[in-house]
Amino acid sequence: MASVADGANAIVLGTLGDISSPLAIIGGNCALQGFDHEGNDLFWTVTGDNVHSLALCDFDGDGKKELLVGSEDFDIRVFKEDEIVAEMTETEIITSLCPMHGSRFGYALSNGTVGVYDRMARYWRIKSKNHAVSIHAFDLNSDGVPELITGWSNGKVDARSDRTGEVIFKDNFSSAVAGVVQGDYRMDGHTQLICCSVDGEIRGYLPGTAELRGSLSDTSVEQDLIRELSQRKQNLLLELRNYEENTKAGSSSPLKEAPGQRGIIPANTRLHTLTPPKDVPVDLHLKTFVGYRSSTQFHVFELTRQLPRFAMYALSGPDPAAEPLGHVNFVLAERAQRIVVWLSQNFLLPEDGNIPNAPFQVCFTSLRSGGRLCIKTKPSGEVAVNTDDIDLAGDIIQSMASFFAIEDLQVEADFPAYFEELRKVLAKVDEHHSVHQKLSADMADNSSLIRSLLVRAEDARLMRDMKAMKNRYMELYDLNKDLLNGYKIRCNNHTELLGNLRAVNQAIQRAGRLRVGKPKNQVITACRDAIRSNNINTLFRVMRAGTASSSS
């Protein structure tokens, strides 16, 4: 039996890396723990946010399995034991992960997106208005490669090619799908795909059965093609009618508009401020409807542009009085011109922006919070990033590491405001532990007293001393109320403790994201050891210098 202090949101069973014993790996409150069959804790590390999904997959093709972790911060992280070897950022919470063939794995998001990755490259993805409840890999058409099976909230089950995302099989339940698994359900030596609905309906599918072949018959394909062509025909007819109506309107009563604005309807136009929630590249899809004021059909023009990762930071002038106290410093063996190229690809800079190719300082203002960001270079190759946002600093370092193909990067960092808040959180953790111990001791004392009062009340009843028996039971009633109140306090204390433990785990993860490669893993390990030994000074020394050595 094992206890998981950080909660349990997801679990996966199997072998991980060079750890010989099979593990039950638990994902919880920003933490990952792995237990063997005896309950021994053989694996522990932290991740960026609450874990929602786990999977084991040979991600790098070395014959050993890595741990895939999907969390609330939209990231899929790949752990080689306790070392993060890859990170992929998605557009929503990752709700499900499953290994496919080789290094491929499937994923599902909370917004209805499902897809397949091969290592860090996304093969395909589709988005549905329904929610993907469960995903599973199963070779349904007996071609030697598993398909991605998805059970949806509207009761649909479909199987998609892991290479193209093409639907090769589909079925429908009368209620939402509860889960998709595989097993020898009929105990006849053949593995079936098993789907279960929330109403308890269970269906099993054998690979390559007549039922499956029937669903893939030419008739079904032809019917789908006829529907698609009919829809195209209707769209073309509507477009033709639109042209005819606009031609008539243009000849009889043209719309009076400003030069250069012919055909554009300015009425009822609303401009919305785009605010990406995270600093990730965003695909911007623009759809413009063009017609006359009396038009019922419009020409549609579509345009797609990608906003850079740090589009929410506007270029501004330097202001020494407002310079942030938080900063990271590191040495980058790159020419200043290359850093300018990185800036131009990751920030929205004016076309006539004059950033010198020599050592420079460039400043930005956050369009979300108004916070300041300054990036400075020196002739020695040292780079300083000034910001009070530790997450932003980590994002910038990870972006630079990816752009310049940096394998290892040691960083010195200090974020006074954030570290002070963390000190308060750590003090609250100690306080919650003390309260928990006191409440547990009080509960044990009260339990002993309850046993004593029950015996005394029963003795009074046998001796027909009703007054004494009534008094004992009144004491029991009062003691029971105290126990209930103590239990509520204990539950609230535990909830607050979990929240603070989450903040501590996130702080360790953030300190790691300020580094790259081996220094990143060393920081996470050293921070974890400092927490275990309750050495707060060492923890902050590691977060600042990247090492526990006091000489750094």
pLDDT of the residue at 329: 94
The CA-based diameter of the chain, rounded to the nearest angstrom, is: 110
Tell me the per-residue pLDDT of 170-187, one tens digit each, with 9 for 90 and over. 899 999 999 999 988 888
pLDDT of the residue at 74: 87
CB 318 within 8 A of CB 374: yes
Which stretches of the chain drop beneath a pLDDT of 70? 1-6, 209-225, 227, 242-273, 352-358, 548-552
Tell me the per-residue pLDDT of 273-321, one tens digit each, with 9 for 90 and over. 677 778 888 777 787 888 777 777 778 888 888 889 999 999 988 888 8
pLDDT of the residue at 290: 83
pLDDT of the residue at 215: 47
Helix (H, G, I), strand (E, B) or coil at 286: strand
Gyration radius (Cα) of the chain, Å: 31
pLDDT of the residue at 5: 62
Place of tokens 């991605």: 148
CB 109 within 8 A of CB 95: yes
pLDDT of the residue at 262: 36
The DSSP secondary structure of 480-520, one letter per residue, reads HHHHHHHHHHHHHHHHHHHHHHHHHHHHHHHHHHTSBSHHH
Span between the terminal Cα atoms of the chain, in Å:
42
